[in-house]
Amino acid sequence: MAASHPSVSVDPADVARFEALGDEWWDPAGPMSALHQINPLRIAWLRDLIAGRFGAPRQADDPPLAGRSVLDIGCGAGLLAEPLARLGAEVTGLDPSPGNIAAAKRHAQATGARVAYRAATLEELAQDSPLFDVVLAMEVVEHVRDMPRFVRTACGLVRPGGLFAASTLNRTFRSFALAVVAAERILRWIPPGTHRWEQFVTPEELGAAIRSGGLREIARTGIIYDPLRGDWRASRDTGVNYMIAAKRF
């Protein structure tokens, strides 16, 4: 492999913060409890998106994502990678933290999940020029140092006809009040210091970065917390959390 390029996808402080979680990533009542709560919605949205784009598997009894190659950038300990693998996808989990990848491998070994994990930056992976049916950056772009360049690099790994999907936090006064003040400082849903509001990304900024990567947006949805039901659901409201998908034509 060629010498590593300088990484724009790594903020050392964020890497150290998430790496310190170790096996706590998988504790539903632990520091990543909010991610556990939102995960069913993310999985369902991605399942329908991917299956809708590529159609049903060749064999009727195959899982819905059978045969689809998926890159999960910033996979952490595998909270999203494992469920997608169980849906039949051929998942590569990428994370710059060796500690996160070690935790992911331990959990996968315990559950029997088949995920190819790699401790590397996005730039290091991109040197090998792999192409995937689906490239994911879920809860990642708000943690990188150069979001437009990061997104362009990620989009460059999407094969013709493939998909890029991202979820992140909008940079609004409401997102500061709910995602930083309430979620971190008052309710303690996530560890204090997890997010920096100035790094939140508006849909317009993310959309522009995706277009510069040669893809066209095909889907967008907001994510809101429903206190009456006690869970998260899709919404037209993108003022705090949202997800975007784009296609390479």
- What does the mean pLDDT of the chain come to? 94
Percent helix, strand and coil across the chain, each rounded to 5? 40, 25, 35
Q: Token pair 């999407």 is at which residue? A: 158
Output DSSP code: residue 53: H
Per DSSP, the three-state class of 63 is coil
More confident residue, 59 or 241: 241
Residue 3: what pLDDT?
38
Residue 6: what pLDDT?
56
**Low-confidence winner among 53-57, 77-81, 128-132, 147-151 (lowest mean pLDDT):** 53-57
Q: Is the pLDDT of residue 7 over 80?
A: no
In angstroms, the CA 194 to CA 179 distance is 10
**Low-confidence winner among 9-13, 48-52, 78-82, 242-246 (lowest mean pLDDT):** 9-13
Indicate whether this model's pTM tops 0.75: yes
In angstroms, the CA 19 to CA 243 distance is 25
Residue among 35, 146, 143 nearest 81 (CA): 35
**Low-confidence winner among 183-192, 194-203, 239-248 (lowest mean pLDDT):** 183-192
- Give mean pLDDT, residues 212-217: 98
Beta-carbon contacts of 36 under 8 Å, excluding residues fewer than 6 positions away, are 28, 79
Q: CA-based angle 122:123:125, to the nearest 5?
A: 65
Residue 30: what pLDDT?
95
